[in-house]
């Protein structure tokens, strides 16, 4: 039996162009910590150049010299604000960490809006491909400009308009791809199996941040796809789960394919609607300080569970999949996950800008560090793109249904 595109998900699905943890997703009501929220505002006043500090008399003098040289010799006019932000971006970029980023005030506001369901873009999630240092599409949402133009999960974004994206940090690349409603971005794409670049002109528009899709399949089996863990996701998932239960759900397929992660608070809240009592995840910073996130076990799922994962399932989605696997309450089907086991925190500055820094590692309940390793599925099933593109057949979903029916005794 084959299952078609009607479930509005599968591999080639998703929601929006966003910051993957991304890979990995992801500020909101206050500030993210790990893909989630942290608190605190760092003042920019009183910065001093102590011994060993990067900000000292020598660097300040050199910056003055560079600024004078640019002003006197550079051919084009330069906005001083752009130069100033370039200094901050350069310091964070020098860390060599693709997940650490500087946000201007405008970029931070856009990020907050996106996590709360307001954003403009093309309708694709992207992360940085480790092998090529290019942005790679993790998923594409239905009925968006990205899908209508023909972009696909796995596509590598080579250029945005005339700007080469290779080696660029994720937020800078995303800033070039998203934009005002009605404007057009020209994308140059590398696609596996194609002998030449593919070119796309895509008109940006306002998109709804629907991070959860669901439906009832045959034999009282519920299907819920979580496309990212944002502020809006908990309510959407709660509604989806309640609807499936109300429709007589006796087994559940949870689809985390193409999910780059997002908000730590959200994924833990969703885990508390499924897991038994115990640890969900714990983090450790560079000083060895540990923070634990636990579940009281009062809302265990109570039905057989299969979880779909793939190489684009990252960060927060790996937290959920890892906990489900460690507790043995579900069977993972698909391919090994991305392997992002580190935590970011966004810290806001007094001028409205912010920095996102990698601050800790995270571990599954059994103490597994999955960074650059990923989580292996219980049942390995590579995705077959040919049948999907031909008629919408999703071989991974078909296998998940087969496994779930066996667990249900059907």
3-class SS of residue 7: helix
CB–CB of 337/314 below 8 Å?
yes
Buried b (16+ CB within 10 A) or exposed e, 121-153: bbbbbbbbbeeeebbbbbbbbbebbbbebebbb
CB–CB of 102/88 below 8 Å?
yes
Place of tokens 């059907």: 410
End-to-end CA distance of the chain: 15
- Residue 379's contacts (CB-CB under 8 Å, 6 or more residues apart) are 331, 332, 333, 334, 399, 403
**Region at 284 (left for phi over 0; alpha for psi -120 to 50; beta for the rest):** beta
**DSSP letter at 258?**
T
CA pair distance 248, 239, nearest whole angstrom: 15
Residues taking part in catalysis = 315, 326, 340
CA pair distance 295, 303, nearest whole angstrom: 18
CA pair distance 207, 223, nearest whole angstrom: 23
């Amino acid at each position: 039996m084959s299952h078609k595109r009607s479930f509005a998900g599968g591999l080639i699905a998703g929601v929006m162009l966003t910051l993957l943890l991304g890979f990995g997703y992801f500020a909101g009501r206050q500030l993210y910590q790990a893909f989630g929220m942290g608190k605190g505002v760092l003042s920019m006043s009183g910065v001093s150049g102590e011994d060993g500090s990067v900000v000292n008399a020598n660097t300040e003098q050199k910056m003055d010299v560079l600024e004078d040289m640019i002003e006197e010799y550079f051919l084009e006019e330069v906005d001083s604000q752009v130069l100033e932000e370039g200094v901050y971006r350069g310091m964070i970029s020098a860390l060599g960490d693709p997940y650490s980023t500087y946000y201007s005030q405008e970029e931070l506001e856009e990020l907050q809006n996106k996590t709360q369901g307001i954003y403009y873009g093309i309708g694709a999630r992207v992360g940085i491909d480790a092998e090529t240092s290019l942005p790679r599409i993790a998923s594409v949402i239905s009925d968006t400009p990205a899908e209508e133009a023909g972009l696909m999960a796995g596509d590598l974004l080579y250029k945005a308009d005339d700007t080469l994206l290779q080696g660029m940090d994720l937020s800078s690349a995303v800033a070039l791809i998203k934009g005002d409603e009605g404007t057009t971005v020209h994308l140059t794409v590398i696609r596996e199996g194609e002998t030449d670049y593919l070119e796309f002109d895509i008109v940006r528009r306002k998109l709804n941040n629907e991070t959860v899709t669901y439906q009832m399949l045959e034999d009282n089996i519920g299907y819920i796809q979580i496309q990212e863990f944002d502020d809006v996701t908990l309510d959407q998932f709660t509604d989806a789960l309640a609807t499936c239960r109300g429709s007589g759900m006796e087994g559940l397929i949870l689809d985390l394919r193409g999910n780059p992660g997002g908000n730590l608070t959200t994924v833990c809240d969703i885990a508390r609607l499924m897991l038994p009592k115990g640890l969900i995840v714990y983090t450790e910073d560079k000083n060895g300080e540990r923070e634990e996130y636990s579940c009281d076990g009062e809302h265990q799922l109570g039905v057989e569970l299969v979880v779909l994962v793939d190489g684009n399932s990252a960060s927060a989605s790996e937290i959920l999949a890892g906990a489900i696997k460690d507790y043995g309450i579900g069977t993972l089907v698909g391919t090994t996950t991305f392997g992002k086991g580190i935590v970011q925190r966004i810290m806001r500055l007094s001028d409205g800008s912010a920095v996102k820094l990698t601050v800790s590692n995270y571990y599954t309940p059994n103490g597994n560090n999955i960074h650059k390793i990923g989580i292996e599925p219980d049942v390995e099933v590579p995705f077959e793109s040919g049948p999907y593109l031909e008629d919408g057949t999703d071989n991974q979903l078909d296998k998940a249904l087969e496994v779930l029916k066996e667990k249900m005794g059907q």
